[in-house]
Structure 1
Amino acid sequence: MKQSSCVIPDAKLREELKVSIARKLVPEYRYFYEKYLQFLREERNIEMVMRFKPDNLENYLSDLFHGTLIHCGSSSASFSMCISLGCVRN
C-alpha cells in the first residue's frame, strides 16, 4: 500500500480524519472480507486476491497523512522542500 502525497501537519485534524475514514471504511471492508473469504478459501494465491485482513487495514489507516519534511538540493542559497512519506509495504 503506498501513499504518495497527502500529509496533514495539524495533529488534531489528522486524527479526526483518520478516525472518520476508519469508521466508514473498516466495517464495510470487514463485511466484504468475511463474505467473500468463504468463496476464496480454495484459491491458490489467496494473499494476492485478499491482500489485507481487516485488522491490517486498521493499522495501515493509522499511518495515513504522516510525513517528514526534508531539505533537498546542493546549495544553501537554493533548496527545495520535499516530503518523505513512510510507505507501508508487505
Structure 2
Amino acid sequence: THGAYVTVHDVLAALHVALQSRVRSAEYKALGAQAQFPIKQAFEARCVRARHPTQEREAGLKRIDYLCGRTRIEGFHRGPKEEVWLFSTR
C-alpha cells in the first residue's frame, strides 16, 4: 500500500498471490466429497492447460482451483465487516 490508500495494483497483486497459494491437505479433506469434486475437476483442467502438466500436478491444489473455473471477476463489494471486501466471479 501507499499510505492512506490502496492501488488497483495492490489489490490485483494480493489477489494473484492468494489464488496461487497452495491448499493444505487437511483443509481440502474437511470439505467433503461433494465439494471436492468440482475443485478436483478444476485442478485437473488447470494441469492439462499448464506448460508443464506433470510439475503442476505434483505441486498440488491451489486456491484458484476453489473457483472451479469461474475466474472472471465481475466486481468487488463490501463484505460482512467494514474492512472486508469480496469479489464476484463468473
Is TM more than 0.5 here? no
Structure with bigger gyration radius:
1
Identify, as 1 or 2, the structure richer in helix. 2
Higher relative contact order (CA 8 A, sep 6+): 1
- Please report the TM-score for the alignment, with normalisation by the length of structure 1: 0.30
